[in-house]
Every structure is written in structure tokens, then in C-alpha cells.
Amino acid sequence: MLKSLLLSGLLSTMLLFSSSSNAQTDFKLPDLGSSALEVLPIDKEKALGKVMMMQIRGGSPIVQDPVLDEYISSLGNKLVANANNVRFPFTFFMIDNQAINAFAFYGGHVGIHTGLIAQSDNESQLASVLGHEIAHVTQRHLARRLQHQKDNSALTVAGIVTGILAAIIAPDAGMAILSASSTQAGLSQLSHSRKAEQEADRFGMQTLYNAGFDPSQAGAFLTKLSNQVRFQTKPPAFLLTHPLPDSRVSDVRLRAQQYQPRQIQPSQDFNLAKSRVIARYQLDSKNAQAFFENEIRKSTSLSKTHLEYGLAISLLDQKQAKEAEKILKPLLNDEPNNLFYLDVYTDILISLGHSEQAVEVLTKHNNLRPNNQVLALNYANSAIKAKQYDIAEQTLKLFLLDEPEHLLAKELLTELYKNNGNQAAYYEAKASVLSAYGAFLKAADEIQRALNHVDTLETVKKTRLKALLKQYRQMQKELAKL
């Protein structure tokens, strides 16, 4: 899978670099050089990011969890709003992997492993890593790698980008690819990477402070990773792509001391997100139940809601919905608009066979906060389970107008059309899902099937589907040229 993924990413990358571009920009780059724009203009960077995102979807277990997605996107965008040199919107996503890791690549895509949330002690630590990754994008470090290779015949554009893809999916393989060209080239590449880390630390900490977080936690997090290295034969995945010489930890700590000290109150959303990750992605449900029950017994904190929330999830996932409801219902009564609680309560009601009640509960919330992804997708899912297909279709179509690339919404729409027997719409929705993975040939096949289910009198629909068929086939041809 990794080999085919890298090959596919390589072909796509070569395609993008082979086309000419007349894009102009007035943006000023920081002191490491403006040549990055010459090698990779903004429009090509965004296009390359989209292609790489398709490859990652096909080769990594991306977390499709609206609650966690809402949390991590909100946190990430808060940091982006306080960063410098932001040139395009950012996209934040999660991968189901217990390793402590995060990465950024072209076009403002930032991915984090679930293990990073599980191992962070507080929100400022998590935010420090996100701020660091945002800085890699805003300072265009990957584009600078491409500039670096122009003066180094031992490296190729394709080789560097292939290494980046590999490092995202399997850091061991990625670092091997990046350092395999020649001894001198490998050393030069590593040196450049260390400079990029220093710059990302500097810009990331400024962003962290501007966004209202505790800058000292950046050093605390690096210290935590450094301590892990001492007791492990294999370093954490994060350190395979983010060098950590001894001086870096002390540099980060010294830099943090230049900022005004801050006392940050614990974030309830962070604690709930961490409990959700532990319950759903770090431990199996039985071990998660034991973990949360033990933590509740040991806890001396006045508030144990995040631990009770995690326990409710672990019980629900063991099909003990009634027991989960007993724990979650009081939490929801205290905070009736809490998205974390509403999401799990919806799952409890569906598990108990009360899908209609779930639709009723979510109707008012969805009306108050239309197109919030947690509410809209839970509302649509409940409506599908309750066979209220009109509600589900209207909700999903409205949501996709705002978020046209949202994969889970597309998959729910596909499920909806399959259940209500609308064959033409089902195949079209299925094609849209496949195109998100870059499977344009398969998407074209699904559009052809959709055309077979359209009445001859539906000329507008036929024309639209034929245009879509042509578009998918053209995309496939472009990829096949190389």
C-alpha cells in the first residue's frame, strides 16, 4: 500500500510541476529567502496539497469524527488567526495512530495523530505543536526544500516530495528516503531541516502567545519527548521528522521566558477531547472502562465530568447503552448545548432504537446552529436511521453547500440514497466519494451507472451527469500521462 501510494503521489506531483504557471503574488517572505515562491507559486502549492491529501485519505486511517474535527479545527484556526504570513485557509485533520506525531504539508494541511492528544497534558501543549506545524506552512519550509534541491543535483523534486509523503505515513521510511541520495546531500538536507525547526519554534511560540496560550508549555512538551527518548530504543515518531538536538529544548525554554508568564485555566473541551480519544482510539472499550473507573476513583478534582464522559463512551461501545445513558444524561442536563454530550447522547438513543427521539432532540439544536458539523451530521444520521429521508437529504445538501469537500457528509448522502432506493443519486454520490480519494476512473464508472438510471426525459440531469463524466475522465487522463 505504501509503495503504490508513493508512486501515485509521485505521478501527481510530477504532473503539477510539469504545467506552466503565470501566478503572481505580492507576499513578502521572511529572511530565509524569497526563492520558495519562484519554485512553488501559491496556486501550485494549494493544488499539490489537494493531491497529497487524496493520497493520504487512501493510505492512512483518517479519523472521521465530527466532534474531534470540530475541536481540532477550532483550536487550529484560533492559532491561524494569530499567525503571520497566512496565505490561504488551513485544514486540520486527525489520523488514528497512537504515536505522538504531527505534520504539515503544502496548501495549509495540518495532520495530527490521536496519540498526540492522548499524551498532551494540557491544551497549551497541544496548541504548541499545532502552532509549530502552522509555522512550517506559513514560512514555506517544504517549498524551500524544493529551492534547495535546484542547487543540489543529487536530489530531485520528485524524490523530496516522495520522501515527504513517506514521512507522513511512515516516518522511518520517509527519513530513509530523504537521506539516501548521498552523504553530502543527506547532511545538507538535515542541516536545512534543523534551521526550519528553529524558525518554526520561533514563529510558533509567537503564535501560541498571541492566541492566549502558555508559551512555557512548548518547552514542557519537548522535555516530555526528550525524556521518552532516554528510555526507548526507538524515538517517538514526531522526532523522526522534527530533529531534537539537546540545544533545542533549552532554546525553546529560554525563548518562553521572554514572554509574560500566564496561568491558563484547564480547558474543558481539551479534557473532553482527550477522554474521547482515549475511549475510542487509544484503548479498546473494556480497557477504557477500567481506565476511566480507576481515574474517577483516584481523582481529587471537583470536576470529573470528562472522566465520566469517557466512561459513558466506553460503556456505549460495549453495547451497554442503558448504563451509558445513566452517566451521560446528568452531564447533558447540566450543559444541554454541549456538542460532546449531544453527540454521544444521539448515539445512545440510536443504539436503544429511539432514532425518532434523536431527531426530535436535535431538531431545535440544528435550527439554532445550522450547519454546525456535529449537529448537522448527527441530525442527518438520526433521520436516516429513522427513515426520515427528506429531512436527512435537506440537511446534508445544505451542509455540503458550505462544506463541499466534507467526506463524511458525502458518505452519509451515499447511504441515504442507497436506503431510499434513488439509484441515480446513489451512484452519483458514490462517485463524489471516490473522487475525494483521487479514484477518478472508478468515479467515472459510477457516473456511467447513474446515467443508466436516469429517465430519457430528464435531459437536464443527463446533461449534468455527462459533463461530470467527462470531467472525471479528463482528470484520470491527466494523471495517466506520466
Residues carrying an active site annotation: 133, 201
DSSP conformational letter for 279: I
Contact 369, 375 (CB under 8 A): yes
Find all residues with CB under 8 Å of 315, minimum gap 6, and list them.
285, 289, 321, 323, 324, 327
Single-letter residue type at 259:
Y
Contact 49, 78 (CB under 8 A): no
3-class secondary-structure state, position 448:
helix
Q: Please tell me the distance from the alpha carbon of residue 13 to that of residue 438, in angstroms, as a whole number.
A: 13
Find all residues with CB under 8 Å of 14, minimum gap 6, and list them.
158, 482
Write the DSSP string, 222-250: HHHHHHHHHT-SS--HHHHHS---HHHHH
* Location of C-alpha cell 465530568: 305
50 CB-contact burial (10 Å; exposed 0-12 / middle 13-18 / buried 19+): middle
Q: Is 140 left (phi over 0), alpha (psi -120 to 50) or beta?
A: left
Kindly state the cell numbers that stand for 336: 444541554
Contact 377, 369 (CB under 8 A): no
3-class secondary-structure state, position 135:
helix
Q: Please tell me the distance from the alpha carbon of residue 198 to that of residue 190, in angstroms, as a whole number.
A: 13
Helix segments in 19-113, DSSP class H: 35-39, 42-59, 66-80
Single-letter residue type at 418:
K
Letter string b/e over residues 304-331, b meaning 16 or more CB atoms within 10 A of that residue's CB: bbbbbbbbbbbbbbeebbebbbebbeeb
DSSP conformational letter for 260: P
The kind and range of the H/E element at 294 are helix 285-298
Closest Cα to residue 56, out of 144, 180, 170? Answer: 170
